[in-house]
Structure 1
């Protein structure tokens, strides 16, 4: 029994005799205890404090710092502290121990009592201080008392740092101020990240977006070792596990992707691009792997893969610069500097370089320089963005002025065409009217017929120019009215029968209905149909008849022009096809341009002038758009051309006595003209009736052109078998109303 008591006493007292004590004096503020600390590797990671207390395999430390690679083992530290100070409160800290997942302190007092505290990244937030970025244990050591501290650390990452004992007040003033500075630094990271993400929405630069994404992931990597994630996601272990390990692997993925883009579409770098793509795929798998499995071996493998990722990114940036691919150096240089820092961190993880506290401070300094440099770059970018916005606004304003000017010019042009057309129409009417009378009087005089054809041609051209100008200016109103569309189409096509017969061209009309009541604008539909049929007849080989005594003298091999009208499902489809010479494919996109003329070829059987004005098809296109339809053209050189117009059709209820012009009545309007007495309009504008008591019908002539009024008066005053009228004249509408 005595031997057993002696053995137990020796087990308790022997550590006190063999440990190298750390003596805490009144002057002690901060002391590293690495050389006075003994270390034990627990390969099972399951030893209890009682088993560790009895373990004799502790080895005295050889350095003030510790560094352990990727291991599943738990590491135990044992150090004896003797307090000879009046201060009772001290802090034991694993300085720079950012990667430690689990840290436990067992403080053994002389009476055998053991105080247990828990810290580490994967420990719940209540067990950690709000500003503790590394494990820190507050302890109380009575004056003159010797205690033994057992510290257990474990992590699937490599672990490094130093074991430091702080006097509490000095830790609160000095150590905590360093921690607060680091938190402020992380706050700058957050603000800078938010700033760059806001700018991404305005700056359309691919490399700036890559830089923003890479820097954001780099900051997430830094945050993963600062204790932020356990505070935010401590209640979700699976999410915190992925943030601590999976997010860590996103940063190399973004760098590899950026390097791939830098060398994109460069055949001489194809092998390097394949290597980058392969590493991207492997790292993407590693990003999601912690959701299912995570251990030190997997972490070790991916830490090895990070080294070529950083090297390849830096190499890609250098190759892009050397190959003069104009890489964005203002983005690449800060990221390359950060990549060098992260590369060193991986070397430290892999125990390929020794841990030294000064290197960690240099890393933070590099990150600070990165923040400063990118802030300057972003200032430059914002300045350029504002300048470009101002230039764009000025350009937009100038463009608006040009559009307004162009709109005004178009309006003036429309007014000009309207006025000039009106001025042309009056003289032409005064020419066509008398020519019509002369043709009736002398039907055999070919000269009158020639004059009449050219005068009417000029009148048609003027009307087309006016309508085209109004349509392009949006000033051509729709005037839909009920009518029989089948009858009108038949009437409009029949107007070309004499021309087709004279040139031995077969003109045919096919309609799938015998009547079709509808609401439509007859003037615009007539203009569309007549222009298409006129063009078809113009460019279809035939035999002109001037100078030919009989049809037999002409060649019977004339062309064909086919007009088809289809009425169904509220859609009117008009097809005009010919057997003419066709339109070359390179000219088809331009045939609807104003004043565009095709280089149509002339064969031996077609001797007429085929060069048009370039107005007809342009007018047809504008009218079709105005009516809400579409026009399509197909042409084969030497075979013919087909125009297809598709227009919406609004059916109407059948009307009785619907004429071919769409008006109700007998289908034609007979104008009664005859001789009568004429009233004169004085210069005062008042209308004077000099035929008081005369009971003949009264006709009021309102016309501002004196010659036109005289011509109308002459026509209505012709005494040849016509009724007699009382004629009144006015120079304008107001005078006519008065």
Structure 2
């Protein structure tokens, strides 16, 4: 046996392939050539000639994925005088580099080159067939070498042609390519047109996408696609390979459309996602680093995806899942045609029938899909007609339901209006009775039910206004995180009383935004009230706020009883109630969430609910907060959250904190803002009940918290305790009065320390008033009222100070921080009054403060907003310039930063009481 092998090898190395007059071409000589693998890929022919070549022994042999160079050798002799031209062909056009070494008479070799990585101008042939002319005359014998280097593995053979058979081969290749290309283009053309204009079905469009991907892959396999996009051979080669590397994308899209995807196990769905990710990653790697390892991995990935899809169909049959077989039959045929080609390229099979079966399945897919196409179109038309009829029926039912809902809403709106008058007559007397009979347990219960009735009536009225279209957004521009913090803090006492962990966080501490304070407050309080209502004691409620560029994303999550999947789609329906179970069984009217849903729509937002029984619910609200969206709705009001009224269902659990709720009338939005700094929650609640009817309230739990809130909100007055954790009242007062942003704020200090030394210490640190505990309610109210009146008098004084330029009065430099702040602001505006572009942002930068702090500071000192303050200084400056003889009103307007003389005249007249021309005449008679 060893002797036979050696003899065959020697014969092969020395055997001559002779062409005679009776030699039929094309002649496959693959089994008669020898091969040597150059693992360095750098050996020259002179060195390779001395190497040990081994027989190929296969008609169609495989060139693996590698960087090696493969050398092939054969000796050819021509004994046919009438056939003087012979050609040798490398039988696969996707080869990247093939070189043919033909010996000359002088001992040198002529080198002919071809392959996809060789520019067309350097190739030794035209067209797609890789062939080389041998120049073998009659009676001549030559030893030919082929050097092949291709990282893209493939199967090939080596063929000998004469001139006649080569032309015939070229014609046959052109005919078969033309037929296949025409078939693919025609199918693709009609299917795409149908998907765009006729069959607007998800499954059909998914299959259309697959056909686009597979058509590109077909042209990539033939090495035709890359040349369409580029003349660069390297780029064209990458495009050709990637075109059929991307076929798993089409597989995944079709599987998602044809299978009941939600019923597939999680493992199968994650496998599909993994296939998608792997395709993308390998694509990037191939583009960035074209090498055989990535391409081989790509082939195995395609094989895995194909086997996985076959497995999915077996799973669907076993589980009796509904699958559309009109699409699935051609889909599986197409996968099968490609499967055998890829399996052969990686060495999985050497069967000679691979290409025949692949083409048979390829044409079968086209035929079967065309056969089923008529049925697909008829089914789609039937489904569309059925859907149209169902839509008409639903529209009719919706119209009827809307009419009934309108009647119901109007009834509740009308009766709600009638309820308000007798309800008003109950609230006041009950409060009087509670003060007269504080030990009577029935009165707080009656008050809770009255407040519950009032809240329900208010919600019904809001819904009726929404139905009538009377609720329009009233947008303000302010610091949204600060606004929401106040809302969240209103629920902290409720959480403490129920032993519920209440976490709230925001993605940023400050964010200027445009929002409707009233409607946003109702949305937040309803969602939080709902969360607390269905959360048992020792449970948890979490709120997360994210500011995503132009949107607010509010997430309210509770860990309570949850909502069943069948009920979840109806929770926003009017008067729909979700019956709770267990120890937290509460009752509701089914209005709150419906009102939230309608308010979110008014604010151009979206709301989504997710829930799982026993694990809680999550509500997510997305609202636009950019000023471009709300430009037509902006107002100049300053938002201030009202004290949040808890629902009566929750209020019953905290009857001992009844005064914390909305029993008193709500302060106006422009009322003074009072900061209450007290670490005792009961006393803080009592103080709030004293002031919330006349003032807006901000609460803080200790001195440091109070200082932070003061810097954020800039209140009109602060009432603080002396003994507090982290920072006591003395430290709070000292830091508040030493900061220019808050130095103007009056401070009333409360303490149980009644000694003279303590009172003097407080007054020395800047406290404006001092009260000892226990204090008298009426006395505290009167002291706060007097301090606010004093601030109003100071505000008038500072307003007069702004006109000193007109009166030409010079005063010594003031010593107080407020005087220094105001003088610096006036000086800055006067110096830059000639710049028309000078505005709020520039003044903020000069004063080293934020927009909100500057606004509140100027409002507290002068009673004017920042814009009004800048305009007033400009006008005072104009009044001074108009004293100059010959001054032109228009010139003065431009000098003080007004772009429009007419607007300047109007503003001057409103502030000075006379037009600028009359002012100039009165000062220059």
Q: Is the 8 A contact 1:65 1:161 kept in 2?
A: yes
2:245 corresponds in structure 1 to 249
Q: Does 1:295 align with 2:291?
A: yes
Query: Over residues 491-519 of structure 1, what are the superposed CA-to-partner deviations in whole Å (9 max), with x where a residue is unaligned?
Result: xxxxxxxxxxxxxxxxxxxxxxxxxxxxx
- Give the Cα separation in 1 of the matches to 2:172 and 2:413: 93
Aligned-residue offset at 1:99:
3.5
Q: Is the 8 A contact 2:416 2:457 kept in 1?
A: no
Structure 2 counterpart of 1:73, from 68, 87, 101: 68
Structure 1 counterpart of 2:145, from 135, 150, 153: 150
- Give the Cα separation in 2 of the matches to 1:71 and 1:340: 26
Aligned-residue offset at 1:154:
1.5
1:285 corresponds in structure 2 to 281
Correspondence 1:382-393 to 2 at 5 A: 382-384=377-379
2:133 corresponds in structure 1 to 138
Correspondence 1:591-630 to 2 at 5 A: none
Name the structure with the higher helix share: 2
Range with bigger deviation, 334-343 or 367-376: 334-343
Correspondence 1:322-721 to 2 at 5 A: 322-356=318-352, 358-384=353-379
Secondary structure of 1:140's match?
coil
Aligned-residue offset at 1:276:
2.6
Secondary structure of 1:144's match?
coil
1:51 corresponds in structure 2 to 47
2:77 corresponds in structure 1 to 82
2:793 corresponds in structure 1 to none
Query: Over residues 526-585 of structure 1, what are the superposed CA-to-partner deviations in whole Å (9 max), with x where a residue is unaligned?
Result: xxxxx999978866677xxxxxxxxxxxxx99999xxxxxxxxxxxxxxxxxx9997697
Aligned-residue offset at 1:304:
2.5
Q: 1:205 to 1:24 in 2, by over 3 A?
A: farther
Q: Is the 8 A contact 1:76 1:153 kept in 2?
A: yes
- Give the Cα separation in 1 of the matches to 2:387 and 2:257: 29
Structure 2 counterpart of 1:269, from 262, 265, 269: 265
- Give the Cα separation in 2 of the matches to 1:149 and 1:199: 54
- Give the Cα separation in 2 of the matches to 1:323 and 1:586: 51
Q: 1:267 to 1:88 in 2, by over 3 A?
A: same
Query: Over residues 30-83 of structure 1, what are the superposed CA-to-partner deviations in whole Å (9 max), with x where a residue is unaligned?
Result: 21112321211111112223333x323122332223223222111111112212
Q: Does 1:114 align with 2:109?
A: yes
Aligned-residue offset at 1:181:
1.1
Aligned-residue offset at 1:296:
1.8
- Give the Cα separation in 2 of the matches to 1:295 and 1:15: 37
Secondary structure of 1:307's match?
helix
Q: Is the 8 A contact 2:221 2:241 kept in 1?
A: no
- Give the Cα separation in 2 of the matches to 1:268 and 1:532: 47
Aligned-residue offset at 1:327:
1.9
Aligned-residue offset at 1:379:
3.4
Q: 1:379 to 1:113 in 2, by over 3 A?
A: farther
Aligned-residue offset at 1:394:
11
1:188 corresponds in structure 2 to 183
- Give the Cα separation in 1 of the matches to 2:217 and 2:362: 13
Aligned-residue offset at 1:363:
0.5
Query: Over residues 449-474 of structure 1, what are the superposed CA-to-partner deviations in whole Å (9 max), with x where a residue is unaligned?
Result: xxxxxxxxxxxxxxxxxxxxxxxxxx
1:304 corresponds in structure 2 to 300
- Give the Cα separation in 1 of the matches to 2:155 and 2:145: 17
- Give the Cα separation in 1 of the matches to 2:412 and 2:335: 71
Query: Over residues 432-452 of structure 1, what are the superposed CA-to-partner deviations in whole Å (9 max), with x where a residue is unaligned?
Result: xxxxxxxxxxxxxxxxxxxxx
- Give the Cα separation in 1 of the matches to 2:259 and 2:78: 63
Larger Rg: 1
Q: 1:581 to 1:231 in 2, by over 3 A?
A: closer
Q: 1:34 to 1:242 in 2, by over 3 A?
A: closer
Structure 2 counterpart of 1:198, from 182, 190, 193: 193
Range with bigger deviation, 264-273 or 75-84: 264-273
Q: 1:342 to 1:21 in 2, by over 3 A?
A: same
- Give the Cα separation in 1 of the matches to 2:298 and 2:75: 38
Superposition RMSD in Å? 4.8
Query: Over residues 133-161 of structure 1, what are the superposed CA-to-partner deviations in whole Å (9 max), with x where a residue is unaligned?
Result: 44222343222222222111121122322
Secondary structure of 1:106's match?
strand
Aligned-residue offset at 1:188:
1.9
Q: 1:383 to 1:226 in 2, by over 3 A?
A: same
Q: TM-score, normalised by structure 2?
A: 0.41
2:913 corresponds in structure 1 to none
Structure 1: 5+ residue runs without aligned partners? 1-13, 407-530, 543-555, 561-578, 600-628, 630-635, 640-738
1:720 corresponds in structure 2 to none
- Give the Cα separation in 1 of the matches to 2:22 and 2:39: 39
- Give the Cα separation in 1 of the matches to 2:32 and 2:455: 107
Secondary structure of 1:88's match?
coil
Structure 1 counterpart of 2:14, from 18, 25, 36: 18
Aligned-residue offset at 1:391:
8.7
Query: Over residues 251-294 of structure 1, what are the superposed CA-to-partner deviations in whole Å (9 max), with x where a residue is unaligned?
Result: 12332454456666546611222233223212210012122112
Query: Over residues 140-193 of structure 1, what are the superposed CA-to-partner deviations in whole Å (9 max), with x where a residue is unaligned?
Result: 322222222211112112232211112221232245314421232023212322
Secondary structure of 1:103's match?
strand
Q: Is the 8 A contact 1:94 1:135 kept in 2?
A: yes
Q: Does 1:222 align with 2:218?
A: yes
Aligned-residue offset at 1:214:
2.2
Aligned-residue offset at 1:128:
5.3
Secondary structure of 2:328's match?
helix
Structure 2 counterpart of 1:30, from 26, 29, 32: 26
Q: 1:588 to 1:101 in 2, by over 3 A?
A: same
Range with bigger deviation, 79-88 or 240-249: 240-249
1:208 corresponds in structure 2 to 204
Secondary structure of 1:201's match?
helix
Q: Is the 8 A contact 1:32 1:162 kept in 2?
A: yes
- Give the Cα separation in 2 of the matches to 1:142 and 1:339: 48
Q: Is the 8 A contact 1:120 1:134 kept in 2?
A: no
2:312 corresponds in structure 1 to 316
- Give the Cα separation in 1 of the matches to 2:455 and 2:137: 115
Aligned-residue offset at 1:127:
4.6
Q: Is the 8 A contact 2:63 2:153 kept in 1?
A: yes
Q: Does 1:124 align with 2:116?
A: no
Structure 2 counterpart of 1:168, from 148, 163, 166: 163
Aligned-residue offset at 1:322:
3.7
- Give the Cα separation in 2 of the matches to 1:132 and 1:207: 39
Q: 1:186 to 1:128 in 2, by over 3 A?
A: farther
2:641 corresponds in structure 1 to none
Q: Is the 8 A contact 2:77 2:142 kept in 1?
A: yes
- Give the Cα separation in 2 of the matches to 1:301 and 1:581: 66
- Give the Cα separation in 2 of the matches to 1:58 and 1:29: 26
Aligned-residue offset at 1:27:
4.6
Secondary structure of 1:55's match?
coil
Q: Is the 8 A contact 1:87 1:143 kept in 2?
A: yes
Q: 1:228 to 1:188 in 2, by over 3 A?
A: same
Q: Is the 8 A contact 2:97 2:117 kept in 1?
A: yes
- Give the Cα separation in 1 of the matches to 2:186 and 2:363: 13
Q: 1:174 to 1:249 in 2, by over 3 A?
A: closer
Q: 1:590 to 1:47 in 2, by over 3 A?
A: same
Kindly indicate whether structure 1 or structure 2 has the higher relative contact order, using CA contacts under 8 Å at least 6 residues apart.
1
Range with bigger deviation, 64-73 or 173-182: 173-182
Q: Is the 8 A contact 2:16 2:77 kept in 1?
A: no
